């Protein structure tokens, strides 16, 4: 479902025809690393056993096609500055945290033999969905890497859309955990440590 995003990103990125700077190539690489993990590695390590509705597949395909091509075309030739370096650190930390917490969930899934277990360890001790939180940090880093400074810049719009679509899922999942497990930690927040 998400493999279309890096493909459309590459098409959008290369369609500009101008010589790309090393900085632009690094930002493009950051985008593609995320999607190689999300579209290829993640489904391999955690194959879905349930079928998705055709409307979900179509809407996700449309979104990922549009998002990938818009992000690819958006990349501006900018110079490296302190903001972009902070963005790089946030992107790498967010990606690492996202992958790490996904792997913890995969391990729990294998250990549970089809049942459910309360996730524990790392940021799971503070929030129900640390993988979402880390993904938001990752894409905030991308916003800073791209030096986006208005709400209608493509990376900012993507981050807002991501938070808007993931927040309700995190909320519903958090309520499910609390209902399913009487011993679920009451102090555990939904997605942002100590806050939400």
Query: Taking the model in full, what pTM does it have?
Result: 0.85
Q: Which of 99, 33, 22, 31 shows the shortest CA–CA distance to 67?
A: 31
Confidence of residue 1 (pLDDT cuts 50, 70, 90): low
State pLDDT tens for residues 29-38.
888 999 888 8
Which residues have a Cβ under 8 Å from the Cβ of 94 and sit 6 or more positions away?
Answer: 134, 135, 136, 137, 138, 139, 140, 141
Strand partners, 52: none
- Give the contacts of 55 (CB within 8 A, at least 6 positions apart): none
pLDDT in tens, 50-102: 676 788 778 878 888 888 888 888 875 566 788 889 999 999 999 999 999 99
pLDDT band at 185 (very low <50, low <70, confident <90, very high): very high
Helices H / strands E in the chain, number of each = 7, 0
Tell me which residue of 88, 96, 108, 89 sits closest to 46, measured CA to CA: 108
Domains in the chain: boundaries: 1-77, 79-196
What ranges make up the beta strands (E) of the chain? none
Percentage of the residues of the chain whose pLDDT score is greater than 90: 45
Q: What is the pLDDT of residues 124-183, one digit of tens each?
A: 999 999 999 999 999 999 999 888 888 888 899 999 999 999 999 999 999 999 999 999
What is the spatial distance between Cα 163 and Cα 192, in angstroms, rounded to a whole number?
A: 11
Task: Decide if pLDDT at 122 tops 70.
Answer: yes
């Amino acid at each position: 479902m998400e493999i279309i995003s890096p493909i459309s990103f590459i098409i959008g990125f290369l369609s500009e025809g101008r010589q790309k700077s090393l900085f632009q190539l690094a930002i493009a690489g950051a985008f593609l690393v995320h999607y190689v993990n999300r579209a290829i590695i993640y489904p391999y390590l955690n194959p879905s056993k349930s079928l998705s509705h055709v409307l979900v597949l179509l809407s996700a395909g449309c979104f990922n096609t549009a998002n990938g091509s818009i992000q690819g075309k958006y990349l501006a030739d900018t110079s490296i500055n302190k903001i972009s370096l902070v963005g790089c650190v946030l992107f790498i930390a967010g990606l690492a945290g996202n992958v790490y917490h996904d792997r913890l969930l995969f391990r729990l899934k294998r250990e549970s033999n089809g049942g459910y277990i309360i996730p524990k360890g790392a940021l799971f001790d503070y929030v129900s969905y640390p993988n979402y939180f880390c993904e938001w940090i990752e894409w905030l880093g991308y916003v800073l890497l791209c030096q986006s400074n208005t709400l209608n810049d493509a990376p900012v719009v993507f981050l807002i859309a991501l938070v808007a679509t993931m927040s309700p899922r995190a909320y519903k999942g958090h309520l499910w955990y609390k209902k399913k497990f009487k011993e679920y930690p009451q102090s555990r927040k939904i997605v942002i440590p100590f806050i939400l």
